[in-house]
Structure 1
Amino acid sequence: MKLWQKISLLTAAILLISMVVYGGITVYETSNYNIRQTSSAASRQVRATAYALGQSLENAATEEMSDTARKAYLQFLLRRYSSRDYMLLQDWQLAANTTNFELTGNRLEQFDSYEPVAAFQQKNGRHLMIVGQKIPLSDSKNTSYQLLLVRDISEIYNNVLTQIGMFLIILGAIVAVAINAVFWMIRRMLKPLRDLRETAGAISQGQLDRRVRVRSNDEVGALSVSFNQMADQIECQMEELAQVSERRKQLLGSLAHELKTPMTSIIGYSDTLLHVRINEEQQKKALTHINNECRRLERLSGKMMNLLELYNNETIHMEKHPVRQLIGKVAELEKYHLKEQGITLETRSDDTVLLMDMDLMESLLVNLIDNAMKASKEGDTIYVEAAGTCILVEDHGRGIPAEEIPKITEAFYMVDKSRSKKAGGIGLGLALCTQIVKLHGAKMEIKSKPGVGTQIRVIFSEEQ
């Protein structure tokens, strides 16, 4: 059974029980009120009639009358002072009767009081009310009289049954309408949950752009908003995963292409060494070429591993570090390499402290300086400056054509492939730098002009 059906049936059951209890109490109290009012009116009537009969009996010498004369006289008095609903008893024996009922039973002692007493009986399917009392007489009388009012109150009970029947009809109509209304309202209220379920199913099948329509500001509406926010996050993460997967696929394709050339060269030279007789100088040249290509493959694999690790950034640790310390450490690392190339490195830095991963930023600056060295010639100077949230690496080397600048951050892309390979380049340096900059929430600006040089700025966020 669905939730809306359970809620609807539970609501209908509570409504039905409440109305039955309320209706039952109302009918019961109404019938009791009518009976009490009828009994009270009858008691007042009996009291007045008993008083009048007592006055007449006080003045009449009924003891001196014969039985026939006394019964006739009492019948006359009863008809004179009362209606047809009375019985008059003398010493608990029926003396006069104007009703259509006969005196039965032996519980007359309950009426042995000078105040009216009411009793109720059910006889032959009829409901009777009996109100009786003793007639007040002086002590000089040697006999006692009792007056009983016998009235059929079946109409009151019939009215109760009629009310119950009408109540049940009205109850049925109200419950039917209420159940339909509750069913409709519950289904309408739970419609956002059905939409939520359908949208969740659609998202699970790959429709990541599906969202729930927010229909209200209540708890269900808040749930819909939270669900949409979750769906947005899932879509963003799936897009990022797709991009990472695509980048990795491109990297692997590019890697396979890059590996083809050195491997072909290694295989060719090794076949020559194995199958062709060559002199010692030629052997040394072949072995040197094989050694260079193997080292190039080693660098390529190392760069690839670093780049792939950056796409899985669980091991990155961001801490506050002085930029001066970073530049000094990189300068020390590159000192001998720069000396071999005959290139000078000048550094300047203020006291700025930035949030960074020290190892990654070292790799970033080393790659930028290596690229600058490959573009420079002996005797040139490379400048590394840090001011505020900006780190600048500048050279006055060959420069990069404007149309090539957007492509140089792609993996394995090299502006001048022949020169880059001679210098040991593999086209992954700036791809690594781009990913490192992205992980730091920074941006990298490249300005270059052929024959003039290149400026690369790494600009951190102002919120550092």
Structure 2
Amino acid sequence: MKRLRLFPKIFLYTFFVMLFVTAVAHVFLYFFAPQMTLSTNNFLENGAIIESSMNTESLIRSAILKAFPLSLICCTLISLGCSLLFSKAITKPMQQISKTTEQMAKLDKNAKCPVHSCDEIGILAKNINSLYTDLLATIENLEEEKQKVSEAERSKLDFLRAASHELKTPVTALNAILENIILGVGKYKDRDTYLVQCKEITTQLSSMIKEVLDASKIDFVMEQQNAEPFDLSEELPAFCEPYCLIAKAKQIEFLLNTEGSCPVLLPKKGLEKILSNLLSNAVSYTPSGHGIQVTLQSDKLIIENECKPIPPDKLPRLFEPFYRPDFARDRKDGGNGLGLYIVDTLSKALHLHYTFIPMTSPDGMQFILYF
């Protein structure tokens, strides 16, 4: 019986129980019915009463024995039909639940247990549907997290490769100069001159390493910062002041327009880091005699600088680490190529959207940061 499926097991249990009840009922009928006696009272016309008692035990036993075969056959057929109907009624919803759970095991998103009643089986089907919905949601969230982790790991690996490549060039140059100084080859005999050059290279390396470390710690630093409400229109003038002075020294016109308030809920240091890199790039790549305009609206910040527009095919690569366009290959002029990479990374961490497009009137670039 333990190895039988649910339907035959319920059917056999029910059928045997009904047969047992039928047999017990017939046994009781056989033993107790004959003990009953039949008494009759006859009233005569003159009012006299004639009492007669007749023992019917043998007649009843004989009648019951004659009726036993037909009675047992009828009861057996009735038990068989009732057991069949009862087994189907009980096992059908269970079979449907079993079939549905097999589909759920294959992660079929359309799988759902049918609910036909409010009894324990119906509650079981509802609970299974609820658990499966939660399971699908959990699996989907895990897949998204897995994809994000994979993308983050891939980005970090690409960043480390690019960083090692960038650091390799000045280290190789420094090593070559020092070897020539030690050997006293040609012009490198003038040690004082080339030791100053070595000092400049080490300063450059120190700056690059600091920027690489800062860029690699962005995600960790952002996790430690809490968002706070503040009005950017009140903070922006003081923040732009140093870049106004740099622009003035380079004979660049720097205009700041604030069109009303701009309340935001962001980590202030993270937003300042984004604006610092954007304004630094704007000042660095704007030629003397041209202008920079910063416009703050209620839901966005617009930074426009007059310069040679960047070709559209090169725009996506500007946000890659250590990438410098053709007109800014020199580290002295084009920096280390981490500014826009940091802007992109911080913007994604703060869930801020941006656009970076060329301008035609006047020629230049426009960066819009949406809040």
TM-score, normalisation: structure 2? 0.77
Is contact 1:352–1:388 with CA below 8 Å preserved after alignment?
yes
| 1:167 matches 2:167 | no
- Report the Cα distance in structure 1 between the residues aligned to 2:240 and 2:196, rounded to whole angstroms: 35
Alpha-carbon spacing, 1:174–1:430, altered in 2? closer, same or farther (3 Å): same
Aligned in 2, Cα 1:410/1:175: closer, same or farther, shift over 3 Å?
same
Amino acid at match of 1:455: Q
Q: Distance in 2 between matches of 1:286 and 1:314?
A: 38
Candidates 283, 293, 306, aligned match of 1:373? 283
Could you tell me which amino acid in structure 1 is paired with residue 205 of structure 2? E
The structure-2 alpha-carbon separation of the partners of 1:334 and 1:160, relative to structure 1 and needing over 3 Å to count, comes to: farther
CA displacement, residues 149-171 of structure 1 (integer Å, 9 cap, x when unaligned): 12221144323575245424542
Match of 2:357 in 1: 447
CA distance in 2, matches of 1:17, 1:342: 104
- Counterpart of 1:289 in structure 2 is 201
**C-alpha spacing 1:374/1:224, structure 2 compared with 1 (3 Å):** same
Aligned residue number for residue 457 of structure 1: 368
Question: Could you say what secondary structure the match of 1:427 adopts?
Answer: coil
CA contact (8 A) 1:326 1:358 kept: no
Query: Counterpart in 2 of 1:148?
Result: 53
- Please state how far the C-alpha of 1:260 moved relative to its aligned partner: 1.7
Paired residue for 1:421?
A: 331
CA distance in 1, matches of 2:154, 2:202: 33
SS in structure 1 at match of 2:55: strand
In the alignment, the residues of structure 2 paired with residue 24 and residue 329 of structure 1 have an alpha-carbon distance, to the nearest angstrom, of 101
2:257 maps to what in 1? 348
1:189 aligned onto 2:97: yes
Q: How big is the shift at 1:8?
A: 5.5
Aligned in 2, Cα 1:397/1:309: closer, same or farther, shift over 3 Å? Answer: farther
Select 1:278's aligned residue among 156, 181, 190: 190
State whether structure 2 residue 164 is matched by structure 1 residue 256. Answer: yes
Write the letter of the residue equivalent to 2:346.
I
- Shift in alpha-carbon separation, 1:217–1:449, aligned structure 2, 3 A: same
Contact 2:100–2:113, Cα closer than 8 Å, also in 1: no
Q: Report which of the two structures shows the higher radius of gyration computed on alpha carbons.
A: 1
Aligned Cα root-mean-square deviation (Å): 4.0
Mapped partners of 1:362, 1:445: distance in 2 = 18
Structure-to-structure mapping, 1:102-251, within 5 angstroms: 147-151=52-56, 152-158=59-65, 159=67, 162-164=70-72, 166-172=74-80, 174-175=82-83, 178-179=86-87, 182-183=90-91, 185-199=93-107, 211-216=108-113, 218=115, 219=126, 220-251=128-159
**1:194-222 deviation line (CA, Å, top 9, x unaligned):** 222343xxxxxxxxxxx433345642444
Counterpart of 1:302? 214
Q: Quick one: distance in 2 between partners of 1:292 and 1:273?
A: 20
Contact 2:292 2:305 in 1 (8 A): yes
Does the aligned pair in 1 maintain the 2:96–2:114 contact within 8 Å?
no
Q: CA separation of 1:223/1:20 partners in 2, compared to 1, >3 Å: closer, same or farther?
A: farther
Q: Which amino acid aligns with 2:41?
A: R
Alpha-carbon distance between aligned partners in 2 of 1:187 and 1:217, rounded to the nearest angstrom:
11
- Kept in 2, the 8 Å contact 1:269–1:290? The answer is no
Measure the CA separation in 2 of the matches of 1:10 and 1:181: 14
Aligned equivalent of 1:434, options 308, 319, 344: 344
Query: How has the CA–CA distance of structure 1 residues 418 and 424 changed in structure 2, closer, same or farther, with 3 Å as cutoff?
Result: closer
Number of paired residues?
349
Q: Aligned partner of 2:341: which letter?
A: A
**1:319 aligned residue (216, 228, 231):** 228
The Cα of 1:346 is off from its aligned counterpart by 2.7
What's the offset of the Cα at 1:395? 1.1
Higher mean C-alpha deviation, range 380-389 or range 297-306: 297-306
Give % identity: 15
SS at match of 1:289: helix
Q: Which runs of 5+ in 2 are unaligned?
A: 116-125
Aligned partners of 1:337 and 1:297: how far apart in 2?
25
Taking a change above 3 Å as real, the CA distance of residues 222 and 293 of structure 1, as seen in their structure-2 partners, is closer
- Measure how far apart 1:368 and its partner are: 0.4
Report the Cα offset of residue 457 of structure 1: 0.6
Residue 190 of structure 1, CA deviation: 1.8
Gap change, CA 1:341 and 1:13, over 3 Å in 2: farther
Residues 278 and 340 in structure 2, CA contact (< 8 A), matched pair in contact too: yes
Amino acid paired to 2:276: V
User: Any stretches of 5+ residues in structure 1 without a counterpart?
Assistant: 59-134, 137-145, 200-210
1:328 counterpart = 2:233? no
CA change 1:430–1:316 in 2 (3 A) is same
Matched residues in 2 for 1:353 and 1:441: separation? 16
Three-state SS of the structure 2 residue aligned to 1:444 is: strand
**Residue 366 of structure 1: CA displacement?**
0.5
Q: 1:231, CA displacement in angstroms?
A: 3.0
Shift of 1:193: 1.4
Separation of aligned partners in 1, 2:249 and 2:85 = 95
Maintained 8 Å contact 1:399/1:448:
yes
- Pairwise CA distance, 1:388: 1.5
